[in-house]
Structure 1
Amino acid sequence: MSEVLFLAHRIPFPPDRGDKIRSCHVLRHIAGLAPVHVACFADDEGDMAHEPELIAVAASHCLVPRTRSLKLAGVEALASARPVSLTAFADKRIATYVAQILAERPISAIYVFSGQMAQYIPATFAGRVVMDFVDVDSAKFEAYAAAARFPASRLYAREARLLSRFESDIARRAHASLLVTPEEAALFRQRLTPGSEPRVMALGNGIDTDFFDPEGMPPAPEMAGEGPQLTFTGQMDYPPNVAAVEMFAREVMPQIRATFPQARFNVVGRAPTLAVRSLERVNGTRVTGAVIDVRPWLAGADLVVAPLTIARGVQNKVLEAMAMARPVLATPEAATGIPAREGHELVVASGSDALAKAALSLLHDKVRAATIGQSARAFVLEKCGWAGVLAPLAGLLGLSGPESPRVAA
């Protein structure tokens, strides 16, 4: 019987952030097709505590605490002319486990989640490689370089250049390279080394509509007696999220509170940076930090906002809010890859003034806001279930079934 090796830069449990949500559902789906062996990293002790969940789904596993600091990885990368992203995730224990599994088990395919883990694909492996880039990391670092000051801009530009070359090399090696949206797939294809013609396609993200169901879900108690409530959810040490909430708190909220003085902006998510924590009470902003369950903070929101200006791939935060039947106001960057109808299932605006105008319109017209929320949930129920989204994986891995993703680029 064919077996699969699954490589991921983070343990897929718990599925409480964008990359883990995707990797968790992909891993569970593959485990339903064939025995799967997993090699991945743990960021901290909290991640290590979820090893039993990994044991429950994997035929075997190697979970390695990632202890190398980003600063040390940067120094090593500069000395070796390698991308920092690869150096930070280089570990002999993972390499040894991969070699052992390939030698001892009938591995017919390797599924690689995130480009950092592609360094572990042996040149001699004769089976299929499915490379899930998710989004174009090199383009993200180019955006960082454009926004940063020297010397950070120079370091980001170096990372973008080296990663772009590595991405092209891996894409040529893979049976298929997956990106999360048709737009990301098209961008990836444009950036490939001239002369290479790898198989690049889109495989979207789904949403667990049974879990993200507004029925019977009360608002967070902290939201009582104030309002209207605007909510942002996300990993709050991720630079694009940090920039988004800073802009919204400082530039958009003053315009909203001029009409609704009691309006609150809830920034909900783990690991808030100092810059995020400093927003507490600024123009009605509340920073929650990590919460046990994000759903009450969505259920109590009059409006969920996703004001990102740098965004790669599908934003899970948008799909989760839509599944909870909340009206969502997003920038074009945050709405990319979600084929919802603007003004019907999702509202899109760009720039602080336009975002404020759109938010005020929805807050004034509660009937329209509720209609958009209900339409958003109907859209997610029809288009975004994980089972349908991941159905092509069997064919891509050579296990069975068709190979064409539902959303192909």
Structure 2
Amino acid sequence: MPTDPGPPLLYLVHRIPWPPNKGDKLRSFNILRQLAERHRVYLGCFADRAEDMAGAEHLGEWCAEVHVERLRPLPARLASLRGLLTGEALSLPYYRSAAMRRWVGEVVERADIRRAMVFSGPMAQYLEARVGLGNAVIDFCDVDSAKWTQYAEHRRGPMAWLYRREGERLLAFERAVALRARAALFVTAAETELFRKLAPDTSACVGVMQNGVDAGYFSPAHVFPEPWEQGGPTVVFTGAMDYWPNIDAVCWFATEVLPRLRVLVPGVRFYVVGMNPAPAVRALAAPDVVVTGAVPDVRPYLAHASAVVAPLRVARGIQNKVLEAMAMGRAVVVSAAAASGLAGEHGRDWLAAGDARAFGECLTALLAAPATGAAIGAAARRTVEGHYSWSAHLGMLDRLLDADGDGALPAAGAAGAPCPAGAPA
């Protein structure tokens, strides 16, 4: 906590921001550090893994108070089905808790809290009767409703219907929240414009707050031993491997791209680096496909990768895994979806591939010419240093939450000021 912590602030997060070891946690944790510079932060969050409950002790460094509730995914999924009866998005009852609602009410009154920061749309449901959406900044990160609609395109039968329904109902909730909040933020200009297209009446209510990366931690200046014994060209993917878009990405790459690559680049190996690999991911393991599971540090794998891939077919916003690889000075081949909103240029700072053939061609070129990969990696590092500083992006929160400020969104990527507090939904 800073010496002069400033006014109290309620910070609600759908997943505890510790340890900051995956995309949403990295963003929510860095937001917490930014908020703590000028506020006494009262953090309310859920933990969907038992081992994450201990994170409250670590977060005390930045918080006046931390309230963590254990969220058990299976019971939460069953509870979410109530949405079929109430007509609401299933994501809302999934994160609904009487205990969390009681804590919010008690801490708001006890600490006289007048402002709130909300990370992830469903957590906004806890503000209605207390702080109020008009006094809150909402970080949607991505257009989650569009994510569910994308999921529906990869499903059939009842699941496709359920995902489409979730997309429609969640969009209605996101729209209502955006119209009433002090400000509503997304991670890229592309996500912001998508939301404006889906909910045109929110055009003046939303803005952009980009992701960042710790370029000192993820830096090619650090020296690491090779994490593998066998030499030869290596292609690396990093990410939480129980997350469906990541599962889909590596399975697609292993079945559609890797067979082509084996012919063109003999001896190539594919490393899938990340915690909690799903059964479909573990099944990919082969002499030239290594599924590591959780590792203490992903940087050695990035540092010694011949190339890094992000072949996500379903992707929303800027991928932290891509920024981390770029910060490490690695050449990255991304899908069109993962390239959306990414600073830099194809062919100079990163390579984008639209299909399996293009992925194979890009990787073959990189692995055959290490100097080309090194040049792209160096350019990628410069792009990260110039465009992806956490402090530069998150500094806008101070003004948006300022009790005396007008709450105007920044000119870059925004179309005016947010909607007035209490605007009709």
Same fold (TM over 0.5): yes
Q: Structure 2 counterpart of 1:393, which letter?
A: L
Tell me the matched-pair count: 406
| DSSP-derived class of the 2:12 partner | strand
Range 97-106 or range 356-365, more displaced: 97-106
Shift in Å, 1:300 = 1.1
| Cα separation, 2, equivalents of 1:318 and 1:400 | 38
| Cα separation, 1, equivalents of 2:129 and 2:180 | 9
Please, which of 38, 42, 55 is the counterpart of residue 47 of structure 2? Answer: 42
The aligned counterpart of 1:119 is 125
Matches within 5 A, 1:300-315: 300-315=304-319
**Is residue 172–residue 197 contact of structure 1 (8 Å, CA) maintained in 2?**
no
**Is residue 9–residue 113 contact of structure 1 (8 Å, CA) maintained in 2?**
yes
Unaligned stretches of 5+ in structure 1? none
Shift in Å, 1:73 = 2.5
Please, which of 390, 396, 407 is the counterpart of residue 394 of structure 2? Answer: 390
Structure 1 residues 104 and 206: alpha-carbon distance in aligned structure 2, compared to 1, 3 A threshold: same
Shift in Å, 1:80 = 2.6
Deviations 1:221-266 (A, max 9, x none): 32x3232000001111111111111111111111111132211100
Unaligned stretches of 5+ in structure 2? 1-5, 415-425
TM-score (norm 2): 0.92
Deviations 1:311-369 (A, max 9, x none): 00010000000000000011111111211111111111110001101110111111111
The aligned counterpart of 1:165 is 172
Shift in Å, 1:134 = 0.3
The aligned counterpart of 2:294 is 290
Q: Structure 1 counterpart of 2:340, which letter?
A: T
Shift in Å, 1:405 = 4.2
The aligned counterpart of 1:353 is 357
The aligned counterpart of 2:220 is 214
Please, which of 65, 82, 99 is the counterpart of residue 105 of structure 2? Answer: 99
**Is residue 9–residue 117 contact of structure 1 (8 Å, CA) maintained in 2?**
yes
The aligned counterpart of 2:153 is 146
**Is residue 391–residue 405 contact of structure 1 (8 Å, CA) maintained in 2?**
no
Q: Structure 1 counterpart of 2:391, which letter?
A: A
The aligned counterpart of 2:30 is 25
| DSSP-derived class of the 1:311 partner | coil
**Is residue 230–residue 266 contact of structure 1 (8 Å, CA) maintained in 2?**
yes
Deviations 1:199-242 (A, max 9, x none): 100100000011101223324432x3232000001111111111
Please, which of 177, 197, 213 is the counterpart of residue 184 of structure 2? Answer: 177
**Is residue 172–residue 196 contact of structure 1 (8 Å, CA) maintained in 2?**
yes
**Is residue 187–residue 210 contact of structure 2 (8 Å, CA) maintained in 1?**
yes
Matches within 5 A, 1:196-275: 196=202, 198-222=204-228, 224-275=229-280
| Cα separation, 2, equivalents of 1:195 and 1:288 | 46
Deviations 1:128-187 (A, max 9, x none): 210100000110101111210111101111111110110111011101100000000011
RMSD, matched Cα: 1.7
| Cα separation, 2, equivalents of 1:216 and 1:197 | 44
Shift in Å, 1:400 = 7.5
| DSSP-derived class of the 1:236 partner | coil
TM-score (norm 1): 0.95
| DSSP-derived class of the 1:221 partner | coil
Higher relative contact order (CA 8 A, sep 6+): 2
Deviations 1:285-326 (A, max 9, x none): 111111111101101100000111110001000000000000
Shift in Å, 1:77 = 2.3
User: Are 1:277 and 2:282 counterparts?
Assistant: yes
The aligned counterpart of 1:135 is 142
Structure 1 residues 259 and 404: alpha-carbon distance in aligned structure 2, compared to 1, 3 A threshold: same
Q: Structure 1 counterpart of 2:42, which letter?
A: H
Please, which of 52, 65, 68 is the counterpart of residue 70 of structure 2? Answer: 65
| Cα separation, 1, equivalents of 2:285 and 2:404 | 52
Q: Structure 1 counterpart of 2:131, which letter?
A: F
| Cα separation, 2, equivalents of 1:90 and 1:163 | 15
| DSSP-derived class of the 2:290 partner | strand
**Is residue 346–residue 352 contact of structure 2 (8 Å, CA) maintained in 1?**
yes
**Is residue 322–residue 380 contact of structure 1 (8 Å, CA) maintained in 2?**
yes
Range 318-327 or range 260-269, more displaced: 260-269
| DSSP-derived class of the 1:298 partner | helix
